[in-house]
Amino acid sequence: MANIKEYIAEHENRFHEDLYGLVRIPSISAQSEHKADMQRAAEYLRDHLLSLGVQEAEVMPSEGNPIVFGHYKQPGATKTILVYGHYDVMPVEPLELWESQPFEPEIRDGRIYARGANDDKGQIMIQLKGFETAKALGLVGVNVKFIFEGEEEIGSGSLSPFCRKHKDLLAADVILVSDTTMLSEETPSITAGLRGLSYWQVEVTGPNRDLHSGHFGGAVANPINELCKIIAQIVDDKGRITVPGFYDKVLPLSDEERAMIRKAPFSEEAYCRALDIRETQGEEGYITLERNSCRPSFDVCGIWGGYQGEGAKTVLPSKAYAKLSCRLVANQDHEEISRLMKEYIEQIAPKSVHVKVTPMHGGAGYYCPLDLPAYQAAARAVEKAYGVAPLAIRSGGSIPIIAAFEEILGLKTVLMGFGLEEDAIHSPNESFSVGVFRKGVEAVAEFYRLFN
Amino acid sequence: MANIKEYIAEHENRFHEDLYGLVRIPSISAQSEHKADMQRAAEYLRDHLLSLGVQEAEVMPSEGNPIVFGHYKQPGATKTILVYGHYDVMPVEPLELWESQPFEPEIRDGRIYARGANDDKGQIMIQLKGFETAKALGLVGVNVKFIFEGEEEIGSGSLSPFCRKHKDLLAADVILVSDTTMLSEETPSITAGLRGLSYWQVEVTGPNRDLHSGHFGGAVANPINELCKIIAQIVDDKGRITVPGFYDKVLPLSDEERAMIRKAPFSEEAYCRALDIRETQGEEGYITLERNSCRPSFDVCGIWGGYQGEGAKTVLPSKAYAKLSCRLVANQDHEEISRLMKEYIEQIAPKSVHVKVTPMHGGAGYYCPLDLPAYQAAARAVEKAYGVAPLAIRSGGSIPIIAAFEEILGLKTVLMGFGLEEDAIHSPNESFSVGVFRKGVEAVAEFYRLFN
């Protein structure tokens, strides 16, 4: 019988084709015109699970986009793992910055370019092909359940109700997820922590119509000016968020963890060079690797108002809008933070404008103990594929559902992710390395060999 | 022979049709796709001048959009007036707020609705029909030159070079312009002062691509956050602009002028109600009518960056943009202010982002002495049409070319404007009262009777 590497080499082209089929479906959850694509993507995954010999697979309704559930029953197995992924992807705007069509995958210089090539369709396919490989080689010793949702990029709103409703169906020993990044190909890592998220849309209304800035400017509050003042007040000059109570539940970083963070290979200079910035910027008293993963942050994700076209229109606009977000850390309550921010903005807004703050989605942070048997198996599997033992790190990103899984299903999650920073997820020209994809499949197959 | 009122009543429907023909041409100077419309509008005005018996009329090239010049020679006349107007209009976005098509004029409730119905096509047509009426009745005792440009809404960039080149052609005794507003139909007024303008586009660049706000948020400066901080710093909590040197050349308001301003009929409550705002806001120590006409102001006319679509995209964007403007008062040097603002923004921007400030257009403020014979004639003409003597007021708007006329041609301008606040110029559903149009034509005809 072939070994894992040989099986993968023999089937690699087909693995890519199976990924392309999924990537070609533009399943953008944030844009309602892609509703039908969500269903198509779900059906594609259901059919694919069945083709792999998963005995039960179906597209199940949820309050929002459909959820794919599969159940592979291994004779004699006593443990069950639950594999989670998401088939929805981020919007692709601005389209003009893409070098190839976002939904027509193309390999250039050893990388697959497409929206979803990594996040999360590429990583879902690593899980499926790792399972296929392990199964073909007789290495699977556990039952495997699969759950793929279509709302991760908009907050996984329907997944928690689904989990509550189908607790028995989803019963397992541990959850396995590939939706995170590694430090680098040379320094593989497994994510042991995630940040939470709160997100708001703010609408500031000044006068009831756009005004001539000459006839009214100076006497009537401009909603853009006022929105900017509000945003500017949310972070102080030490990089601290000023919302009262915001840091109350944040746990201080231990000296031990701060020491470990300083062991991760990281060059501030290379980081700045890669992003073409002169210097980083953040909360006083913390280094970049702490700021982007262990500490909360505040970012304006979008802003708009007034005239954005060519030339110089002199207008005092009626409306201004912004999309605001905070990354939270474990132990912060995202619903409480959503409320605190809303109250704070309403309080600091001047009486001369009307402000409407709409909390959108959110999720709690997460932390995984490193002595968990599934974590240990994942670490050894990654070491086998990469030749180096992975570091345990915290990620600055959010997968709100990971905290929800813990709360609802009582299960810990192992975040066995294979992304790299250069994959540019959420950006134009998202891509995924063919070599990383291959190693990912190998690591997942090894995980099955080791965990049973 | 008929009197002025009779002539107007007899020809009013045709006057409207002549205006509609001009309004139907979408001559938006800020948008380059309307290039051909600029030429069409200019040709329409040339043809119209010729049809009125103006002996010479032509469409002349400029560095930008064409300029219409006409010359009516009155036998025996010793004085020449130069009538100025602009045939370009503002953009119409947001289109969905228009109740009828912006370039298909429609009369509802005694008002003509269309982009340009007032600003400035409607007011140009008041000048032309007032001239026609006076000429038909044998009341014109002066030579009349006409100049209509197509770049007023984008800063009149080509008109100054044109004036310098054609100084002799444009030689006159005084300039007459209808492009301003009155306090109300009950309290007619003539504008004796105008604010100047400086306008900038600001581009803030953070990282070289849009980033995942989870993986980078907190460590990398967000260009939207930084742009908001910059904008928030430009006005202090007393409503004063913080740019060093900004107020150096501003002349203080005399007690006499402040007393006169307080005589203008004005209700703060009605003003707020009309705009649907709870309160006005502006520079400490000044009232609304001073803030919106006699004091400088700072407005963000547009802002954009990041994700503006449906849903909640978590992105740390690469770029953010804003269009900034200042209204200036007489004696401030707009080029100096443009430079001071640019330097100030570059100085306060943090090193973590790149900031590019592009001055766009600008113009100086203006003041007209009330004992000027042409001002006196205009005041008496308005009194004749309205039955009330007009107040001399300052307008908060800018007509940069009025200051340039003074500098280049050595001529004072009488701003005999007929707009009203409710005309909503620059906004969706711009309109012009049929009755005001009629009174305007009458006042211009009276002006010719009085000034010779």
- Residues A297-326 have pLDDT tens digits of 999 999 999 999 999 889 999 999 999 999
Neighbours of A32 (CB within 10 A): 9
Instruction: Give B350-398 pLDDT, tens digit per residue.
Output: 999 999 999 998 888 888 888 899 999 999 999 999 999 898 888 888 7
Give the span between the Cα atoms of B82 and B79, in whole angstroms: 10
CB contact under 8 A, A217 and B93: no
* Among the listed residues B51, B87, B57, the one whose alpha carbon sits nearest the alpha carbon of residue B72: B57
Answer whether B247 touches A (CB < 8 Å): no
Burial of A182 (0-12, 13-18, 19+ CB in 10 A): buried
Is it the case that residue A170 has pLDDT exceeding 80?
Answer: yes
Residue after which a domain boundary falls, among A329, A363, A397:
A363
Neighbour-count burial for B274-290, b at 16+ CB within 10 Å, e otherwise: ebebeebbbbeebbbbb
Give the span between the Cα atoms of B136 and B1, in whole angstroms: 10
Residues 362-421 of B with CB under 8 A from A: 395-398, 421
- Assign A213 to helix, strand or coil: helix
Is it the case that residue A400 has pLDDT exceeding 80?
Answer: no
Residues 165-184 of A with CB under 8 A from B: 181
What residues in A contact B393, CB-CB < 8 Å? none
Neighbours of A234 (CB within 10 A): 20
pLDDT, residue B354, reads: 98
pLDDT, residue B255, reads: 86
CA distances from B344 to B6, B198, B230, B244, B338 (A): 59, 14, 10, 8, 10
pLDDT, residue A1, reads: 52
Q: How confident is the model at residue A331 (pLDDT cuts 50, 70, 90)?
A: confident
Chain-wide mean pLDDT for chain B?
95
Same domain, A316 and A385: no
CB contact under 8 A, B212 and A317: no
Give the span between the Cα atoms of A309 and B362, in whole angstroms: 18
**HEC readout, B357-422:** EEEEEEECCEECCCCCHHHHHHHHHHHHHHCCCCEEEECCCCCHHHHHHHHHHCCCEEECCCECHH
Cis peptide before A207 (omega within 30 of 0): no
Residue after which a domain boundary falls, among A363, A381, A401:
A363
- One-letter identity of residue A332: Q
For A224, how many CA atoms within 13 A lie in the half-sphere containing its CB? 32
Cis peptide before B94 (omega within 30 of 0): yes
Instruction: Give B254-280 pLDDT, tens digit per residue.
Output: 887 788 788 888 999 999 999 999 999
What residues in A contact B425, CB-CB < 8 Å? 212
Same domain, A344 and A424: no
Pick from A361-375, B4-18, B100-114, B212-226: least confident: A361-375
Instruction: Report the DSSP beta bridge partners of residue A81.
Output: A144, A174
User: A385 in a domain, yes or no?
Assistant: yes
Q: What is the mean pLDDT of residues A178-185?
A: 91
User: B273 in a domain, yes or no?
Assistant: no
What residues in A contact B219, CB-CB < 8 Å? 280-282, 288-289, 291-292, 297, 396
Of the partner residues B300, B398, B425, the one whose CB lies closest to the CB of residue A222: B300
Same domain, B29 and B74: yes
Q: Which helix (H) or strand (E) holds B326?
A: strand B319-328
CA distances from B260 to B51, B256, B263, B289 (A): 44, 6, 5, 11
Answer whether B232 touches A (CB < 8 Å): yes
Instruction: Give A248-269 pLDDT, tens digit per residue.
Output: 999 888 887 788 788 888 999 9
Give me the CATH number covering residue A113.
Answer: 3.40.630.10
CB contact under 8 A, B297 and A218: yes
Higher-pLDDT residue of B432 and A180 is: B432
Same domain, A10 and A86: yes
pLDDT, residue A397, reads: 83
Same domain, B213 and B179: no
User: A141 in a domain, yes or no?
Assistant: yes
Spacing of C-alpha B103 from chain mean position: 19
Q: How many helices (H) and strands (E) does chain A have?
A: 13, 18
For B73, how many CA atoms within 13 A lie in the half-sphere containing its CB? 5
Is it the case that residue B1 has pLDDT exceeding 80?
Answer: no
Same domain, A78 and A218: no
User: B279 in a domain, yes or no?
Assistant: no
What residues in B contact A352, CB-CB < 8 Å? 277-281
Answer whether A212 touches B (CB < 8 Å): yes
Same domain, A170 and A316: no
pLDDT, residue B404, reads: 87
B318: which 2 tokens?
A: 């690469």
CA distances from B299 to B90, B109, B325 (A): 18, 33, 5
Give the span between the Cα atoms of A325 and A200, in whole angstroms: 6
Give the CA angle between residues B65, B28, B62 to the nearest 5°.
5
Phi, psi for residue B101 in degrees, rounded to 5 = -60, 135
Pick from A357-371, B94-108, B428-442: least confident: A357-371
Structural domain count of chain B: 2
User: B236 in a domain, yes or no?
Assistant: yes
Same domain, B218 and B358: yes
Give the span between the Cα atoms of B234 and B220, in whole angstroms: 24
Q: Which domain holds residue B95?
A: 4-194+365-450
Give the span between the Cα atoms of B213 and A299, in whole angstroms: 7
User: B258 in a domain, yes or no?
Assistant: no
Residue after which a domain boundary falls, among B346, B363, B380:
B363
Is it the case that residue A401 has pLDDT exceeding 80?
Answer: yes
What residues in A contact B315, CB-CB < 8 Å? 301-302, 426-427
Phi, psi for residue A232 in degrees, rounded to 5 = -65, -25
- Assign A248 to helix, strand or coil: coil
Instruction: Report the DSSP beta bridge partners of residue B181.
Output: B419
Give the span between the Cα atoms of A102 and B183, in whole angstroms: 56
B21: which 2 tokens?
A: 């023909």
Which residues, 6 or more positions from B210, have their beta carbon under 8 angstroms from its beta carbon? A426, A427, A428, B306, B315, B316, B317, B318
Pick from A186-200, A225-239, A397-411, B87-101: least confident: A397-411
Give me the CATH number covering residue A204.
Answer: 3.30.70.360
Give the span between the Cα atoms of A109 and A105, in whole angstroms: 13
Answer whether B325 touches A (CB < 8 Å): yes
pLDDT, residue A255, reads: 86
CB A381 within 8 A of CB A450: yes
Burial of B47 (0-12, 13-18, 19+ CB in 10 A): middle
Pick from A145-149, A320-324, B23-27, B182-186: least confident: B182-186
Q: Which helix (H) or strand (E) holds B147?
A: strand B143-149
Burial of A181 (0-12, 13-18, 19+ CB in 10 A): buried
CB contact under 8 A, A212 and B426: yes
Which residues, 6 or more positions from A446, have their beta carbon under 8 angstroms from its beta carbon? A4, A380, A381, A384, A385
pLDDT, residue A175, reads: 98
Give the CA angle between residues B316, B322, B328 to the nearest 5°.
155
Q: What is the mean pLDDT of residues B238-252?
A: 96
CA distances from B419 to A208, A417, B402 (A): 20, 65, 17
Q: How confident is the model at residue B83 (pLDDT cuts 50, 70, 90)?
A: very high
Substitution target from A208, A216, A399 for chain B, most B beta carbons within 10 A: A216
Q: What is the mean pLDDT of residues B404-417?
A: 94
Phi, psi for residue B4 in degrees, rounded to 5 = -60, -50
Same domain, B25 and B153: yes
CB contact under 8 A, B425 and A212: yes
User: A279 in a domain, yes or no?
Assistant: no
Neighbour-count burial for A316-349, b at 16+ CB within 10 Å, e otherwise: bbbbbbbbbbbbbbbebbbebbbebbbebbeeeb
Give the span between the Cα atoms of B441 and A22, in whole angstroms: 69
Strands B413-415 and B174-177: parallel
A80: which 2 tokens?
A: 């069950």
Same domain, B359 and B314: yes
* Among the listed residues B353, B126, B337, B147, the one whose alpha carbon sits nearest the alpha carbon of residue B243: B337
Phi, psi for residue A332 in degrees, rounded to 5 = -75, 140
User: B257 in a domain, yes or no?
Assistant: no
CB contact under 8 A, A277 and B235: no
Chain-wide mean pLDDT for chain A?
95
Is it the case that residue B56 has pLDDT exceeding 80?
Answer: yes
Same domain, A446 and A337: no
Answer whether B238 touches A (CB < 8 Å): no
With a pLDDT cut of 70, the percent of chain B lying above it is 100
Same domain, A109 and A153: yes
- Order across the sheet with A106-108: list the strands: A106-108, A111-113, A431-433
